[in-house]
Amino acid sequence: MKFLVVCRRELRSYFTSYIAYILLAVFLLLSGYFFYSDLIFFVLFGGYVLPTGLWQFVFLDMRLCLLLVLPLMTMRLFAEEKKLGTIELLWTYPVRDGEIVAGKFLACWLFFLVMLLLTAINPVIFYQFYQFDVGPLLAAYLGIFLLGTAFIACGLFVSSLTENQVVSAMATYGILVFFWFMTWNEEAASQSILQAMLRLSLFDRFYNFSRGVIDTRDVAFFVLFAMFFLFLTLQSLGVRKWRGVR
Amino acid sequence: MIRAEHLTKRFGTFTAISDVSFAVERGEIVGFLGPNGAGKSTAMRILCGVFPPTSGRAVIAGYDVVTDSLRARRVVGYFPERVSLYLDMTVREYLRYVADMKGIAARERRAAVERALDGAAVAHVAHRLIGTLSKGYRQRVGIAQALLGEPRVLVLDEPTAGLDPEQVAEMRRLIRSLRGESTVILSTHILPEVEATCDRVIIINQGRMLAVDTPQNLNQRLRQTSQIYLEVIGPADQIVAQLHAVPGVLSVELSASPVDGVVALTVATQKDRDVRADLAACVAAAGYGLLELRPVALSLEAIFLSLVSAPEPSRPPVDHEVPRRLSA
């Protein structure tokens, strides 16, 4: 249960350093604004098909906000401890590396969940005026939840590589944006490579969810993506065993 | 309590420590003495489970630090060279967190935290944010963190570095107060430190062990000759000649004079012979003014030079280059 101790300290640190409040405020403001403008767009031009007319745009926009905010949440997880040197003491306590990774991941993940739940205010208010089918909305929420989980795992890994938080955030942006945009230039890639890239692209995997479609292959992709990066994080912590501590 | 056998640690092509073996009995205070970069921290980090040795093994309280790492770490309290604490927590919050990380049961936690606060004399700043504390207090919080849960083995990496003299004295008192209860390994590059606190010294340089002994024996063994420093008012030539005649004196050298008219001398004497009274009597009998007379303490540099250049019979000659400049 040591991972809960790690998790509690991380959460505490988010809230004492005001990072949590600022990121939460920015995220909610942006996603609220996008919901508002997408709703206006839907009312004017939407064609009355809610999943493709409104949810798709709302969640594709929310995905942008997540891309902006989550690397800023994950950047400090290991980088700060490395910079401060507090990580060395962590290695000497009777705690497994896996518990440390799990605790830090969980802290960021819980924060992300709260963030996501708070955005539900928008559709809840909307529901008061227009009783829509909630199924597609829940599917989209599942998608964005999985997407965010993948982002966090990736950011956690990058954070374990550096002691510079800016480098940590920037490299996470690099990796995520690459996974996202890599299929944009479809014409330039040969068919076989394109097929492989489509399967790996975060953008294409998320697209179905935003339209209210849950495909187990997409779910599996995001889960594997996250697990892969968590595994890499664990490996990266093991590097100290042959490279030492600064 | 602690047994290290042929510990070697390489980082890439760099060998941090090479074939280091020692044993520490229960309740002993042992000092690692060596210049910066000698491999003290590497050896301590291996003992604390930060990383495993490249070869060799270390056992703490019966637990191998590699194969039984979690259990070994449970009996060790570590004070790192770079005291790094979470600056955004209060001292008490931080110690509570450490108690949880060390796996101290919830019902014993409060008492354990209070004991650590008292032990390191930080109880009166328990409510303060660590970020607002001075270096000396942070160092003490670091000690409290190591003491927490009363581990059977304490590994302290340069516990007095960066403290002012009063705090150094206090830290040494604290370490001495642990004698008998805990087994302590501490590292330092300051010679008087080991003399003040340690039962035994392990001298380490460039990753290799040069000697293991009590501070007293080491001092004795190292002093092929003893040196005495004098400041005398009088004619230099005659003073040198007369001191030379004192039985037991091997050589007399003039040092740079501190003030005009004062002759500064360094007298080398036979090892087991205290000639200080004879020297004083000689100066007084000749009618010169004796301003100062004191034994010259062996510097860390001198110790290394003598250990490296004059290997004892039981030990194979050390085959690496003599360090040019060592901080003492």
Residue extents of the structural domains in chain B? 2-220, 224-295
Say yes or no to pLDDT of B121 above 80. Answer: yes
Whether A9 maps to a domain, the answer reads yes
Is the Cβ pair A92, B101 closer than 8 Å? Answer: no
* Chain A contact for B100 (CB, 8 A cutoff): yes
Whether A234 maps to a domain, the answer reads yes
Token couple for A167: 């480098």
Please report the pLDDT score of residue B242 as a whole number. 86
Quick one: closest CA in B to A83, which residue? B84
For the domain B2-220, what is the CATH code?
Answer: 3.40.50.300
Chain A residues lying within 8 Å of B11, measured CB to CB: 242-244
Token couple for B47: 């003992």
Query: Are the C-beta atoms of residues B171 and B161 closer than 8 Å to each other?
Result: no
| N residues, chain A | 246
Provide the number of CB pairs (under 8 Å) joining chain A to chain B. Answer: 77
Q: For B52-105, what is each residue's pLDDT tens digit?
A: 999 999 999 999 999 999 999 999 999 998 888 999 999 999 999 999 999 999
Whether A180 maps to a domain, the answer reads yes
Q: For B15-59, what is each residue's pLDDT tens digit?
A: 999 999 999 999 899 999 888 888 899 999 999 999 999 999 999
Percentage of chain A surpassing pLDDT 90? 67
Alpha helices in chain A (DSSP H): 2-16, 19-45, 50, 56-74, 76-84, 86-92, 97-119, 121-129, 134-159, 165-181, 191-200, 202-210, 216-238, 240-243
Q: What is the DSSP string of A162-193?
A: -S-HHHHHHHHHHHHHHHHHTTS-GGGS-HHH
Domain range enclosing A209 = 2-239
Whether A213 maps to a domain, the answer reads yes
Whether A246 maps to a domain, the answer reads no
* Chain A contact for B297 (CB, 8 A cutoff): no
Which class does domain B224-295 fall in? alpha beta
Whether A33 maps to a domain, the answer reads yes
Q: For A62-91, what is each residue's pLDDT tens digit?
A: 999 999 999 999 999 999 999 999 999 999
Return phi, psi of residue A15, to 5°.
Answer: -85, -25
Is the Cβ pair A13, B86 closer than 8 Å? Answer: yes
Span A138-142, average pLDDT: 94
Return phi, psi of residue B8, to 5°.
Answer: -130, 135
Is the Cβ pair A92, B89 closer than 8 Å? Answer: no
Number of domains in chain A: 1
